[in-house]
């Protein structure tokens, strides 16, 4: 299933590096517009979490692929936000632990992992219009959507945002791995509007994103739903 076959449902693609604020913006925008919000980072984190649970080496692509055949990753929506269960279990906050941070980019670089998750991501469009955030949403998952936004922020600001959350995420290291990988690297997708959020608050970024949707012809029915 791809974006162009679902003319009725609209995908808003939000990409950007770690801690750029894209999750908060995607959540706020989805709520404002009454759309489903899909966090694709959580899906890659769930695969990384499963490698930890099962003692699978994330650098051994064959072992990770074998694991994919045995583990059930089930995607859904709760209260308008995407959820992922691993063999029926929701890992919750464990998805954001250091051990997951440290290996998620390596797992996400395996093309078979991406193929499985991209198919699940495209399936979400069957459920309704959505805001989906990640690294390759505008470039790979929904390349035909006109609604593509890339949210950036300086490394300094991104590090400060993570530590304000009490997390010591090595964002620069993860970004380097995510940008350099061969399979669907982090890029500014063709036609994406870049918003540098370094000096902006969430409301300002959300308003800038709304402006992009308006300029690019988002249907009035969607924009009118603003709460």
Contacting positions for ligand DC (CB under 6 A) = 18, 40-41, 44-45, 104-105, 108, 134-136, 174, 178
Measured in whole angstroms, the distance separating CA 142 from the mean position of its chain's CA atoms is 12
**What's the closest the beta carbon of residue 165 comes to ligand DC, in angstroms?**
12
Query: In the complex with ligand DC, which residue's Cβ is closer, 34 or 196?
Result: 196
Q: Which helix (H) or strand (E) holds 70?
A: helix 61-70
**What's the closest the beta carbon of residue 103 comes to ligand DC, in angstroms?**
10
Query: In the complex with ligand DC, which residue's Cβ is closer, 13 or 35?
Result: 13
**What's the closest the beta carbon of residue 48 comes to ligand DC, in angstroms?**
8
Strand order in the sheet with 81-86: 73-78, 81-86, 36-39, 130-134, 11-15, 148-152, 193-196
Q: What is the pairing mode between strands 130-134 and 148-152?
A: unpaired
**What's the closest the beta carbon of residue 226 comes to ligand DC, in angstroms?**
26
Other Cβ atoms less than 10 A from the Cβ of 186: the count is 23
Distance CA 43, CA 82 (A): 9
What length does the chain have? 227
**What's the closest the beta carbon of residue 104 comes to ligand DC, in angstroms?**
4
Query: In the complex with ligand DC, which residue's Cβ is closer, 34 or 53?
Result: 53
Q: Which residues of 109-118 are buried (b: 16+ CB within 10 A; e: fewer)?
A: bbeebbebbb
Query: In the complex with ligand DC, which residue's Cβ is closer, 41 or 143?
Result: 41
Query: In the complex with ligand DC, which residue's Cβ is closer, 168 or 223?
Result: 168
């Amino acid at each position: 299933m791809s974006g162009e076959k679902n003319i009725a449902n609209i995908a808003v693609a939000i990409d950007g590096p770690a801690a750029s604020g894209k999750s908060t913006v995607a959540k706020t925008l989805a709520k404002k517009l009454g759309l489903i919000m899909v966090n694709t980072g959580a899906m890659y984190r769930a695969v990384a979490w499963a490698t930890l649970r099962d003692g699978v080496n994330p650098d051994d692509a064959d072992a990770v692929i074998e694991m994919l055949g045995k583990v059930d990753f089930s995607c859904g929506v709760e209260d308008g936000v995407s959820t992922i269960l691993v063999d029926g279990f929701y890992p919750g906050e464990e998805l954001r632990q250091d051990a997951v941070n440290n290996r998620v980019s390596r797992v996400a670089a395996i093309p078979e992992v991406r193929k499985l998750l991209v198919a699940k991501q495209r399936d979400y469009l069957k459920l309704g219009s959505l805001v989906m955030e990640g690294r390759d949403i505008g470039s790979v998952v929904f390349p035909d959507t006109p609604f593509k936004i890339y949210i950036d922020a300086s490394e300094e600001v991104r590090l400060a945002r993570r530590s304000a959350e009490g997390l010591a995420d090595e964002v620069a290291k993860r970004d380097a791995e995510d940008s350099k990988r061969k399979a669907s690297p982090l890029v500014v997708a063709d036609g994406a509007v870049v918003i540098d959020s370094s000096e902006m608050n969430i409301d300002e970024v959300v308003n800038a994103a709304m402006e992009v949707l308006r300029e690019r012809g988002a249907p009035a029915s969607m924009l009118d739903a603003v709460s």
